[in-house]
Amino acid sequence: MVDKLGNIDVLKASCNIQTVQDGRGAIFTWIPDQPIVEFNMLHFLPNKIRGNHYHSEFVEYFLVVSGTVVMVTKDPDTGKEINMMAGSGICFRTPQNTPHAVHAITQSVCISLLTKPWDECNPPIVYEDLIPFNSDYVDRMKFIAKKDVVSKRKTVAVLGAAGFVGREIAKVVLDSGYHLIPVDRRDNAEELIADADIVVHSANPAGRMRAEDNPEWDFGETVDKTIKFFALAKGKRFIQISTMSCRTQLYGNYGRNRRVCELLVASDSSLVIRLGPMYGGSKKKDMLHDILAGRKVYVSEDTSYAYTDVVWNAQKIVSLLGTSETGIREIGASNAVRLGDLRDYFASDSEFSGIVETQIPENCPDGPDANDVYEYAKKEYVFMVENNLLEEV
């Protein structure tokens, strides 16, 4: 059964949060009338607003997984504000060119599902002062805001919270008792960073090949944005998530640009955390999967990596948020796995071509065993065999 909130359809759905977190998607009690091609997990603090915009190129399904929110839009006939309170299992289908906003009543987890990839839209959303927020629930919001002020828990803004590493950091931040402000590319970073006590910048893009092929783009996404985010932080505790490539691969754009970012954020309140090769989460496109699939690998077979589960890295990062440590810290496994040995173990047909690019953290004695990657790789290999993915190029 479908209800209406102006032009917005209100649907009852079910969603297993774990299937969304590990990349398998959501399970619905209804069938969307257009294919879902992208989703993002969103975390809301009480009395926070997202939206106040419309999108002209895609339909958005907004699913409430936990907590309570208010969906706000305009009556298409009168132009006046209308709203609906919603809890877990309610999904709003927002058509194109429909002004809307979401106002959180409690800490909430929601999922945004799109019918067109965000990056293919120009522009993906249009912000305006579409909704005045003067409806009958404002007094309740003020009460919640006042109550929230007395909380002694610190608030952590995670930039790049929808990414491979940022997503795991955001989960651990919540599990550790902090307030979480997740920030992704569609958010107003200035407003969200202003509300934070600690800022974690994990939004620098991965992908060495893309950095080499598109140097201006990579510079803009790394150096320019880091300058912006660090300036917005204004002396707050600032954690820059970086890469060991800043030490081992300074001959290319990828390592150089990220090394510049490290230098830009150096201060008495910032900490740079360098990560190495990782596995786990929803990551399916990397050197490890290339080896499992028998694809060509563009480094030497004698390259050794201190492979680390991304969840371990996230836990280690969050453990450093409340410290006064500054400078540069490298984290990862305490030993390393040779890529040629991985190839031989799985009888892969991968060919190796390139220089030795070993990445092992300096001074991380408490790191896990890099050989744990074999157990993960076995499961991935079985999945790839069962789904005929070994021959994909």
Characterize the bridge pairing of strands 108-114 and 60-66.
antiparallel
Q: Where in the sequence is the domain holding 137, given as residue range(s)?
A: 3-149
pLDDT in tens, 179-224: 888 888 767 788 889 889 999 999 999 888 899 999 999 999 999 9
- Banded model confidence at residue 19, pLDDT cuts 50, 70, 90: low
In a shared domain, residues 121 and 209: no
Q: Is the pLDDT of residue 1 over 50?
A: no
Output the pLDDT for position 145. Answer: 44
Across-strand partners of 4?
Answer: 9
For the ranges 84-98, 284-298, 327-341, the lowest mean pLDDT is seen at 84-98
Structurally, the chain folds into a number of domains equal to 2
Output the pLDDT for position 81. Answer: 84
pLDDT in tens, 58-109: 999 998 888 888 898 988 888 888 888 888 778 899 999 999 999 888 888 8
Domain CATH number, residue 32: 2.60.120.10
Output the pLDDT for position 14. Answer: 60
In a shared domain, residues 131 and 47: yes
- Banded model confidence at residue 24, pLDDT cuts 50, 70, 90: low
In a shared domain, residues 137 and 243: no
Q: Is the pLDDT of residue 17 over 60?
A: no
- Of 358, 379, 373, 381, residue with least CA distance to 279: 373
Identify the domain boundary among 123, 149, 175.
149
In a shared domain, residues 172 and 134: no
Identify the domain boundary among 149, 174, 189.
149
Name 54's Cβ contacts closer than 8 Å, sequence gap at least 6. Answer: 96, 97, 98, 99, 100, 125, 126, 128, 130
pLDDT in tens, 132-184: 655 554 554 444 444 444 446 789 999 998 889 999 999 999 888 888 888 88
The verdict on residue 261 lying in a domain is: yes
* Residues 130/74, Cβ–Cβ less than 8 Å: yes
- Banded model confidence at residue 323, pLDDT cuts 50, 70, 90: very high
In a shared domain, residues 250 and 123: no
> What single-letter amino acid sits at 355?
I
- Of 314, 317, 329, 327, residue with least CA distance to 361: 329
* Residues 6/75, Cβ–Cβ less than 8 Å: yes
Q: Where are the beta strands (DSSP E) in 121-186?
A: 126-127, 155-159, 179-183
Q: Is the pLDDT of residue 356 over 90?
A: yes
The verdict on residue 393 lying in a domain is: no
Which of 266 and 51 is assigned the larger pLDDT? 266
Whole-number Å distance between alpha carbons of 276 and 330: 8
The verdict on residue 295 lying in a domain is: yes
Residue position matching structure tokens 């990220």:
258
Output the pLDDT for position 35. Answer: 86
In a shared domain, residues 186 and 283: yes
The verdict on residue 174 lying in a domain is: yes
Q: Is the pLDDT of residue 364 over 70?
A: yes
Output the pLDDT for position 369. Answer: 96
- Residue 79, phi-psi category: left (phi > 0), alpha (psi -120 to 50), beta (remainder): left
